[in-house]
Structure 1
Amino acid sequence: MKDYKNLFFKILKNGGLFLILIVFTFYFVFRGMDLNTVVTTISKTNVFYLLIGALCMCIFLLCEASNFRRNLTALGYKTSLKQCINYSVQGFFFSSITPSASGGQPMQAYQMYKDDIKISHSTLVLFVEFIFFQTVTIMYAIIGFGTQYSLLNGKINSLMILFILGIVFNFAVLVAFILVLFHSEKVKKLLNIVVRFLKFCKFKKADMIKEKVDSIIDDYKECAMYIVKNKGIMFKTFITKCVQIFAIHSVPYWIYRSFGFNEYSIFMFVGVQAVLFISVSALPLPGSVGASESGFLILFKLLFPASVLNEAMLLSRGVSFYLFVFLCGIFILVKYASDTRAKRLAKLQAAKEAAEKKVYKKRVVQQI
C-alpha cells in the first residue's frame, strides 16, 4: 500500500495545477465585467432551484455509492452506505483535481483496501462502474446531439471537432475494455503481433509489456464472468447510472429556473449538457477546468439570455463542480482527522492493556 500513499501525495500536488487553472479561467471570463453587477444578478436568483441543483449532485454521489454497495454485496462483503458514500466522495474529489480524472479510481481502491476489500474485488467493482459510466455517457451524448440537432446545427462549429473527438475517444476506450473482457484470446493474439513488431524494432521492454498486459487480461476474465453471472445486478447498475448522469446533467436546467425562466424543458438542457460533457472529456485537464466553462458559454448561449449567461455559467459550474469539490475535500479532511485520532486512541488503548497485563503478571509472580 506504499504505492497508494505515494499516489495520495502526488495527487495533492496536482491540486496546485487545479487551482492555477481556476484562477486563469475566471480571470479571463470576468475580466471585462462589473463584479458588482454579477453579484447583484446572482443575489436575485431563486435559492429553491439552486438547492434542487445541489440535491441533484447529492443524488449523483448516492447513485454511485448505491452501485458500489450492490456489487460489493454480490461479492460477499457487508458494506454500509456510509462506507460506499466515502468511496464515491473520494472518487469525485480526486478525479476532479487530477488530469484526465486519473486519481479517482486508485484512491477508491485504496479506501476499499482499508476496509478489508481485496484489491482484485475492488478493481472488479470499479471496472464495472467505469464500463457503465462510459456506456451511459456516450448514450446521453448521442441522444442529446440527435434530439437537439436543430438547436445545435451550425451554431457550435467551434466545439464540433471536440464533440467528435470525445465520442471517438470514449467509444474506443469502451470497445477496448469490452474486447479485453469478452474476447481476451483475440486480444492476446493481437498483442503477440504488436510484441513481434516491437522486437523487430529492437524495443528491449517488449516482453515485459506483454507479461503485464497478459496479467491484466487474465484478471479481467473474472470481471467478465461476474458480469455474465449477475445480469440482474448489471441491469440495476445500468439504470442507477442513467439516473446518476441525468442528475448531474440536469443542474444547468435548475440554474435556468433559478433566474425565473421556464421556456425550455429539462430534456433540452440535459441533452446540451451531455454534448458539452463528452466534448471536454477527452481533454487532459483536472476537472475539465477552463474547457467546461468556455464550452458552457458557447453552447448555453442558445438557451440562456446573454444578460445572465456568465452568471449562469458561474452558478452551474459552482453547484455541479466547485461546491462539491470543496465539500468533498472537507469530508475527506474530517475523515482523515477522525481516522488518525481513532488509530492514536487504539494505540494508546493497546499500550495501556499491555501495561496492565505486565503489572498483573508481575503481581502473580510476586504472590507465587
Structure 2
Amino acid sequence: MKDYKNLFFKILKNGGLFLILIIFTFYFVFRDMDLNTVAKTISNVNRMYILIAATCMCIFLLCEASNFRRNLTALGYETNLLKCINYSVQGFFFSSITPSASGGQPMQAYQMYRDDIKVSHSTLVLFVEFIFFQTVTIMYSIIGFISQRSLLDGKVNSLMVLFTIGLVCNFTMLMLLVLVLFYSKGVKKITDLLVRFLKFCRFKKADLLKEKVYSIVDDYKDCAMYIIKNKGIMIKTFITKCVQIFALHSIPYWIYRSFGFNEYSIFVFIGVQAVLFISVSALPLPGSVGVSESGFLTLFKLLFPVTVLNEAMLLSRGVSCYLFVFLCGVFILVKGFRDSRAKRLARIRAAKEAKEKNVYKQRVVQQI
C-alpha cells in the first residue's frame, strides 16, 4: 500500500503544474466566448470521427508497445503485449505531465526492471525507440514543411521561428546520438580536444567531463552492435514508428471531418501537424500545454473556418492529449493499486505459511 501511496502522490505532484497550465490556457482562449455556444457546437459534431481520432491514439500507444515487444523478444525476454502496453502507457503519461517529457523513459525503465528486465537491456530498447522517434518526427516535419510550403509561406512567420529552433534542436540531438553510436573514436577525439581547451581555460572539472563522455560512449557500444546485427528488426521498428506518428498527426484531420468539412486531404493536415509538433518540441513545458494550443490556433486557422477554430483546438488537444493523459493516469493508478494489493496478500500468505511451518516443526520436536 505504501508503494501505491507514493505513486498517487507522484502523479498528484507532477500533474499539478500540468493541470494549472491547462486551466490558464483555456481561460485565455475561451474567456471572450459564450461557453454555451462552444458546448452546442461541440455537441453537434459527428461522433464517429471523434471515435476514429481516439482510435488513432490507441494505435499510437499500441505501435510503441509493439516495438517494445519486438526488441525485448530479440534480446531473449518472454514478454507479452499487455506488459508492453503498460510500458507505453507509463511513458505517455509521465512524458505528458513532466517538463521536456523527462519523466517518461525513467518510468518505463523502472517498470521493465520490475518485470525482471536488465537495466542495460531496458536502456538499449528505450534508446532504440528514442532514435527512431527522433528520426521519424524530423522526417515528417521536413516533408510537411516542403509539401505545405505554399500554404504556410509568409502567413505564420512567428511560428516558423519556433519551427527552425525545434528542427535544429531535434536534428542536433539525433546527430549526436548517431555519432556516439557509430563514431565513438571520433567522439573521443573531439572530447580530448575540448578537454585540452577547457584545461587551457583552467576549467577544474575538465577531466570529470572527459570521464563522463567516455563512459557514455562505452555504454552505447552494445546498442550500436545490436542495431547493426538486427537490421530486419530495425526496419520493422522504423515502419511501425512511421505508422505511429502518422496516426498521431492525423488526429486534427478527423476533428476537421467531424465538423462536416472535406475540402483538404488528410496529408495536408498531417503535414501541418508535423510542422506544429516539431515547433513546440523544444519548449520545456509539460505536454507542451499552452504553446501547442496557441500553435494550433495559429497554424490551423489556414484550414479550419474561424467560427469553429477554438472548438476544433479543444477537441484535437482533448483527444490527443488530455483524454488519454486522464485514461492513462487512471490505468496507472488502478494497476498500482492492484500490484500493491497483490504484494500485500503475498506477504500475508508468506507469513501464514512461515507460521504454519514453524508450528509443524514444533509438533515434530515435541513428538520426538
TM-score between both structures, scaled by the size of structure 1: 0.97
Q: Within 5 A, what are the aligned runs for 1:82-161?
A: 82-161=82-161
Does the 8 Å contact 1:276/1:292 carry over to 2? yes
Cα deviation 1:154-177 (Å, max 9, x = unaligned): 111110101111111100000000
Give the whole-Å Cα distance in 2 for the aligned partners of 1:259 and 1:7: 39
Residue 80 of structure 1: how far off its partner (Å): 0.9
Look up the match of 1:55. 55
What residue identity is the alignment partner of 2:18? F
Cα deviation per residue 1:264-284 (whole Å; 9 max; x = unaligned)?
111111010000000000111
Q: Distance in 2 between matches of 1:117 and 1:200?
A: 44
CA distance in 2, matches of 1:9, 1:166: 32
Counterpart position of 2:183: 183
Match of 1:34 in 2: 34
Where does 1:246-265 land on structure 2 (aligned, <5 Å)? 246-265=246-265
State the distance in 2 between where 1:13 and 1:324 align.
18
Partners of 2:136 and 2:245 within 8 A in 1:
yes
Work out whether residues 93 and 104 of structure 2, in 8 Å CA contact, stay in contact via their aligned partners in 1: yes
Structure 1 residue 206: Cα displacement: 2.1
- Structure 2 gap ranges (5+): none
Q: Which position in structure 2 is the counterpart of 1:270?
A: 270
Aligned in 2, Cα 1:335/1:11: closer, same or farther, shift over 3 Å? closer
Q: Distance between the aligned counterparts of 1:287 and 1:358, measured in 2?
A: 54
Specify the SS of the correspondent of 1:116.
Answer: coil
**Match of residue 219 from structure 1:** 219
| Residue pair 2:7, 2:333 contacting (<8 A) in 1 also | no
How much does 1:208 deviate? 2.0
**Conserved 8 A contact 2:7-2:336:** no
Shift of 1:197: 2.3
User: Which letter maps to 2:284?
Assistant: P
**Which structure 1 residue ranges, 4+ long, deviate > 3 Å from structure 2?**
5-12
Query: Helix, strand or coil for the counterpart of 1:73?
Result: helix
> Cα gap change, 1:11/1:166 in structure 2, threshold over 3 Å: closer, same or farther?
farther
Distance 2:268 2:40 in 1: 27
Residue of structure 2 in register with 1:306 after alignment: 306
Q: Is 1:227–1:234's contact at 8 Å kept on the other side of the alignment?
A: yes
CA distance in 2, matches of 1:29, 1:183: 48
- The answer (yes or no) to whether the contact 2:8–2:333 under 8 Å persists in 1 is no
Q: How far is 1:351 from its partner?
A: 0.2
Opposite residue 145 of structure 2, the aligned amino acid is F
Task: Say whether the 8 Å CA contact 2:156–2:299 is kept in structure 1.
Answer: yes
Deviations 1:326-347 (A, max 9, x none): 0000000001101100000000
Distance 1:212 1:142 in 2: 33
Tell me which residue corresponds to 2:322: 322
Separation of aligned partners in 1, 2:99 and 2:201: 31
1:364 alignment partner in structure 2? 364
Per-residue CA distance 1:116-166 (angstroms, 9 max, x = gap): 100100000000000000000000001111111111111111101011111
For residue 262 of structure 2, give the secondary structure of its aligned residue in structure 1.
coil
Is the contact made by 1:11 and 1:98 (CA closer than 8 Å) also made in structure 2?
no
1:79 aligns with 2:79: yes
**Superposition RMSD on alpha carbons, in Å?**
1.5
Aligned partner of 1:291 in structure 2 is: 291
Alpha-carbon distance between aligned partners in 1 of 2:118 and 2:200, rounded to the nearest angstrom: 39
Q: Cα 1:308–1:125, aligned 2, differ >3 Å: closer, same or farther?
A: same
Note if contact 1:11-1:103 (Cα within 8 Å) is conserved in structure 2: no
CA distance in 2, matches of 1:8, 1:122: 24
Distance across 2 between alignment mates of 1:349 and 1:209: 50
Amino acid at match of 2:332: I
**Using the alignment, how far apart are the partners of 2:120 and 2:197 within structure 1?**
31
Task: Give the deviation of 1:7 after TM superposition.
Answer: 11
Letter in 1 for 2:130: F
What is the total number of aligned residue pairs between the two structures? Answer: 364
TM-score, normalised on structure 2? 0.97
Larger mean Cα displacement after TM superposition, 17-26 or 33-42: 17-26
Return the offset for 1:192.
Answer: 1.4
CA pair 175-9 structure 1, distance change in 2 beyond 3 A:
farther
Which amino acid letter does the alignment assign opposite residue 319 of structure 2?
V
CA displacement, residues 229-258 of structure 1 (integer Å, 9 cap, x when unaligned) = 000000000000000000010000000111
